[in-house]
Amino acid sequence: MLRELCPALTNKHYFNYGGQGPLPTPSLEAMVACWRELQRLGPFSRDVWPFVEAETSALRRRLAQLCGVPPHRLSLTENVTSGCVLPLWGLPFEPGDSLLLSDAEHPGVVAACQELARRQGLTISWFSARDCRSDAALLESLEAALEPSTRLVVLSHLLWNSGLAMPIEAVAARLKQHPRQPWPPCPRRPPSPPSPPAADPQGKVIHQTLDGMGFADINEVRQGKYFEIDTKENDPKKAKDKVEDMCKKLLANLVIENYKIIDAQ
């Protein structure tokens, strides 16, 4: 169980409210290994940037597999606040628009909304979420606070100060009925994979990622206990060199993994 991998949970109960959650030991070990490699290479050496790119590409690929989306849909930020603030400042607001915030949002997001409102002539209103103990109560509180000018609703899926889960899907469905259809508090679920074939969705995601990295001469990628890569290259040596490059840049985490390339039959 994941709980057994978290030292902070040994002989205690930990009410995780988000950003300061306990780390599983494998995650901690991977982070330490990465920092050690950074120091071995030299923080600003010419060798460190390919390593960083390979690490982030591998992480993005694994997260994409868990989320069921292509890797290019994911953006890695230093914390959750930045992940909220960056898209917030990119939305096309107009003067007079209203931002509707719950009373249980993190100060970092609240401060960003306040500054955005000051600069762009927006208004801010609030609705109660902290004390709601049922989905119905939360939706009732939201309904009472919605205005014709509401353009964005800010509501965390998991409240950072209490750990309560919010009915995000129900909130998004209600906002679709609003005349201005305010931006929901989170993206819609990704579409379900096509049926059939979709026999190897992970292989397709990796194929798309490699293609975006400049490896355009690939027919197919399949992932199981190992990777099967069908390339358009007819020269065996050139094909092996290209697969070697793929391993170094994406397919293998060189800090904690080894790999072996088996020639095509």
Q: Please give the pLDDT value at position 39.
A: 94
Rounded-to-integer distance, Cα 181 and Cα 194, Å: 28
Rounded-to-integer distance, Cα 219 and Cα 204, Å: 11
Rounded-to-integer distance, Cα 99 and Cα 172, Å: 15
- Reported as a single tens digit per residue, the pLDDT across 90-114 is 899 999 999 999 999 989 999 999 9
Q: Please give the pLDDT value at position 22.
A: 79
Residue 1 DSSP label: -
Q: Domains of the chain, with CATH numbers?
A: 2-73 (no CATH), 80-176 (3.40.640.10)
- Range with the lowest mean pLDDT among 5-9, 94-98, 131-135? 5-9
Per-residue pLDDT band for 117 (boundaries 50, 70, 90) equals: very high
Closest CA to 205 of 3, 64, 111: 64
In order, the DSSP letters of 128-151 are: --TT--SHHHHHHHHHHH--TTEE
Residue 49 scores a pLDDT above 60: yes
Count the residues in the chain: 265
- Give the SS3 label for residue 98: strand
Burial class (CB in 10 A: 0-12, 13-18, 19+), 121: exposed
Closest CA to 99 of 145, 158, 136: 145
Rounded-to-integer distance, Cα 213 and Cα 215, Å: 6
**Cross-strand partners of 150:** 98
Q: Please give the pLDDT value at position 14.
A: 67
Per-residue pLDDT band for 19 (boundaries 50, 70, 90) equals: low
- Residue-averaged pLDDT of the chain: 83
Strand 123-127 with 98-102, pairing: parallel
- Give the SS3 label for residue 85: helix
State the residue for tokens 């390979």.
54
Q: Please give the pLDDT value at position 123.
A: 97
Rounded-to-integer distance, Cα 139 and Cα 133, Å: 11
Closest CA to 155 of 188, 113, 184: 184
Q: Please give the pLDDT value at position 138.
A: 94
Q: Please give the pLDDT value at position 194.
A: 39
Q: Please give the pLDDT value at position 15.
A: 63
Q: Please give the pLDDT value at position 162.
A: 77
Q: What angle do CA 257, 262, 263 make, to 5 degrees?
A: 150
- Reported as a single tens digit per residue, the pLDDT across 69-94 is 888 888 888 888 888 888 888 899 99
Residue 120 scores a pLDDT above 90: yes
- Reported as a single tens digit per residue, the pLDDT across 235-246 is 888 888 888 888
Burial class (CB in 10 A: 0-12, 13-18, 19+), 56: exposed
208, amino acid identity: Q
Q: Please give the pLDDT value at position 196.
A: 40
- Range with the lowest mean pLDDT among 25-34, 146-155, 208-217? 208-217
Per-residue pLDDT band for 213 (boundaries 50, 70, 90) equals: confident
Q: Please give the pLDDT value at position 109.
A: 92
Rounded-to-integer distance, Cα 195 and Cα 255, Å: 37
